[in-house]
Structure 1
Amino acid sequence: MDARELDFDLPEDLIAQTPPAERDAARLLVLSCDTGAIEHRRVLDLPELLAPSLLVVNDTRVLPARLFATKPTGGRVEILLLERTSAPGTRESWNAIARGTKSLRAGMRLSIASGFDAEVIALHEGGELDVALSASPSVRDALAAHGHVPLPPYIRRADDASDLERYQTVFAKDEGSVAAPTAGLHFSDRLLAALDAAGHRIARVTLHVGPGTFAPLRTETLDEHVMHEERWEIADETARAIAEARAEGRPVVAIGTTVVRTLESACDEHGIVRAGAGRTRIFIRPPYPFRAIDALFTNFHLPRSTLLALVMAFAGIEPTRRAYREAVDQRYRFFSYGDAMLIRGKK
C-alpha cells in the first residue's frame, strides 16, 4: 500500500483544540461495514447502537511527562519522559526525548524546579537521551507539581489545569503513557451507567502509548515503515471475559486503536486472546485478518498515519475514505479532543 493512499484534505479549523463541554457530548459517525451506510449520532447513543457487547478499554494513565529544564549556561531544554528504565528502589532513570539538546553532555545537571533536577546519563541519535531524576521528597511528587500534560503537537496551545482531568480517561489506572488513548476520553460515568443498563459489559487492557502514535509515515510504502514499540498487559480476568463473550455470541468492541493493537498482539491463530504482558510493534494495515474484535470505536486520525491505516484495514479503504469525506463535509471535530466514529464490522 502506498503511503499517499492515507492522505486526505483536512481544514485546519476542524482540528479540535479543546475538549467538548462534557466527555460524552461529542458527535458520533457510525459506519456499517455490511452495508456501507453512514449515520450521524451522538456518543451518548452508543448503548443503543450495539447489541449487548463486551467493550474493551485501555486503562493506561498519562504521565505529566513534559518537563522544562535549564542548563547551567541558562539555556532551555524541553524534555519528554518516555519510559522509566530503573528498577523500583533505585535511582530513578528514564529514557526521554528532548528539544534544545545542543551542548548537552553526559554528566550535565539540568534544573527543573527548586529541589528537582535531571542529570544527563547518555545522549543518543534523534534527540533521545537517558536522564536520572532527583527530587525532594519524591520524583512522583515533583512530576505532579512541575510536570506538564504532554498534549499532542497539533493542539497549538499550552496545557492548562483542565487538561489534567480531560486528557485522562475515567479508566486511567497505571501510569506509563505520554499520550492518551483518546477513544476512551468520551466515556463518562453517565455513559457507563447507560451501557450497563443496556446489558453491555466492560473489560480492561493496558497499553502504554508512546510518542510514535503521532509520528507520520516517512516512507513511500507502508511495508517500509518500522513501528514504535509499546508495552501491553492483559489480565486473566480480561482474557476470561473475552472468551465468555465469544462463547455467548457477544460482540467484542475495541475502544480505540490501542486496544486493537493489544488484543491482536495477544491473539493466537484461532482467535483466542491470552493473558500476559509484552511489547509490541504490530503494524495493522490493509489487508489484515482481524481475529479479536467485531467492532471499533475510535476518534478521527491524522492523514498519512499508522492509525488511519488500521482503520482502513478494519473498515475497508474506500469506505474509510468516504466516511472521512463525510466527516469533513459535516464539520466533525478531528483528533484527540475531537468527535468519534463507530465502525460495525461485517457479520
Structure 2
Amino acid sequence: MLWTLFTVFVIVALLLDFFALNRQGAQKVSIRAAAIWSLIWVAASFVFVGLVWWGLGGMGPDAAERAIANDKALEFITGYLVEKALAVDNIFVFLLLFTYFAVPPEFQKRVLMIGILAALVLRGVLILVGAWLISEFHWILYVFGAFLVFTGIKMWWAAGQEPDLDNNPALKWVRRKLTIAPDYDGERFFTKIDGKKVATPMLVVVLLIGIVDVVFAVDSIPAIFAITTDPFIVLTSNVFAILGLRAMYFLLAGMHERFHLLPYGLALVLVLIGTKMLLIDIYKIPVMWSLLGTATILAATMILSLVIPPKPGEPTGGAYPFGGKDKDGAKKAS
C-alpha cells in the first residue's frame, strides 16, 4: 500500500509540475511563488511520512508496531533533512553554472526540471545498487563511512574557494566534443550557424547539470544509508528532497551570499554521518541523535552566516566562457 501511495504521489506531482511549467512558458519564477511551492513540497513530505507512520501502526494498540512506526518516521525525517541540506549545496553549484553560462532566468526552470528528472532516475538506480551491495557485503558500510568522512574534510577545505570552471575536466570534455554557438536560441539545444547544426550553451548547461547530478548522487546515497538501510525509506526521503529542488533553487538563488558558512556546516554533517556509519558495529548512534545533530549544525551555520559577514574578497560568482560584458557592464553570453 505504501509503495503504491508513493508511486502515485510522485507521478501526480511530476505531471502537475510539467503542466505548470508548460502553462507558464518561459518566464522568471518570483520569490513569492518559489516560497509557496517550497512550503507545499515540505508539507507534502510531512503528510507522506505521517501516512507512513499511520500505515505502519503508529496509532495502533500494538506497542511493537508503534515503536517500528516511530523509528521509520524518524529515519525518514532525518534522511529527508540530510538530503535537503545536501541539495542546498547542489543548488549553489547550479547557481554557479547558470551564472557562468549567463542562462536567462526565464530559461532556468526548464533546465532544472530536466536535472530533477535525471536526478530521480540516478538516485533510483544507485539506491537499488547500494541496497544490494549492503545486503551482500556488510563491510561496504565502512567504505561508505570512510568516503563520507573524506568528502566532508574535502568540502571543508574547499569552502570559500573560487571554483575554477574554465579548467573543469567535464567542461573541457564537452568543449572538445561539441561545436558550441556563441548565443542562446531560446530554449533550443541546437541551432544553425551558416547552415551547420551546432550546440547551444543551453545543451552544455544541461549536460553539466547531469554530471553534477551524478557527483551529488554518489555523495548523498552513502549519507542516507548511514541513517537507514531500509530501501523504502532511503528512496522516498531522497525523492521527496529532490522534488522540491526547483522551487528551493529560485527561493535561495538570491540569498546564497547570506549563507556563506553553510558549506562548513554541510562538511560537518557529512563527517558526522560518516562517523556514525564507521561506528555501526561498535555503537549504534540513535536516529534521534543524528537528527538533532544534523539540525543543530545546519541551524548554527545558517545563523552564524547572518551574524558573521563574509570576508572581503570572498568569491561570490563565476566567469563567462562565451562572452564579455554588455554596455552596462553586466556579463552576458556574446
Q: Answer yes or no: same fold by TM over 0.5.
A: no
Query: Relative contact order (alpha carbons < 8 A, sep ≥ 6): 1 or 2 greater?
Result: 2
The structure in which a higher percent of residues are helix is 2
Structure whose residues are more often strand by fraction: 1
Report the TM-score when normalising by structure 2: 0.22
